Structure 1
């Protein structure tokens, strides 16, 4: 599977360069994406703009991967879905779970906001002091 990887300070932006994500690509996709959880920079933006079709096992795996990232205090944001892929995910009732963004820039914003939120929550200090 061909991908383009762009590493930023707080996340990796990965663009899948395949026109179709088929069931036989599921294991490779999962292994390569979940591997980022071992890095210092764990957050991931997955750009699916070149993807024109996606099969159900891949879509279900993306949901599972997204959950793994959030369980590990990391962000996983999908962006730039083609209309036919978005419609398919909606029909499978997976679109709302994945909550993709229209642009990669918006995905970056979400990752950065979630990172700030985690930093504030990890601080252990209350945000407001009532004294």
Structure 2
């Protein structure tokens, strides 16, 4: 899977160059996205502006990848989804499960909010552990 990568301060914008995400690409998707979990900046915004079609296996793989990011305290937000792809995700009932923002700017807002939320939860965990002692 060919992608364009744009690194920002708190996240990477990954833009697939492909016009379709298919079942045969699921391993490539995982190989392209999961290594970002090893970086200092782990958050990913997946910009799907070029993608005109997604099949069920690829959509399910995106959901699995998203879950791996959240399990590793990192954000994964998809944005710029074309109308036909959005309709497919809605028909497949995956649109409510995937973290989707209309634009890259709104995806960045989600990443920022999730970073703040993680920081607050980490602070609460520290405060609770100190009062337990």
Kindly indicate whether residue 59 of structure 2 is the aligned counterpart of residue 22 of structure 1. no
Would you say the 8 A contact 2:5–2:13 is kept in 1? Answer: yes
Structure 1 residue 99: deviation in Å? Answer: 3.3
Cross-structure match for 1:80:
80
Work out whether 1:4 is the aligned partner of 2:9.
no
CA distance in 2, matches of 1:66, 1:117: 17
Task: Please report how far the alpha carbon of residue 31 of structure 1 lies from its aligned counterpart in structure 2 after TM superposition.
Answer: 1.5
In the other structure, the counterpart of 2:131 is none
1:3 and 1:121 map into 2 onto residues whose CA distance is: 33
For residues 53-75 of structure 1, give each alpha carbon's deviation from its aligned partner in whole angstroms, at most 9, with x where no partner exists: 01111100000011111111000
Kindly state the Cα deviation for residue 87 of structure 1 after the two structures are TM-superposed: 0.4
- The separation in 1 between residues aligned to 2:65 and 2:54, in whole angstroms, is 16
> 1:22, 1:76 → 2: CA distance?
20
Stretches (4+) displaced over 3 A: none
Aligned to 1:123: 123
Structure 2: which 5+ residue stretches go unaligned? 129-133
Structure 1: stretches of 5+ with no match in the other structure: 127-131
Q: CA offsets per residue over residues 42-99 of structure 1, 9 Å max, x none?
A: 0000000100001111100000011111111000000010000000011111011003
TM-score when normalising by structure 1: 0.92
TM-score by length of 2: 0.91
Correspondence for 2:101: 101
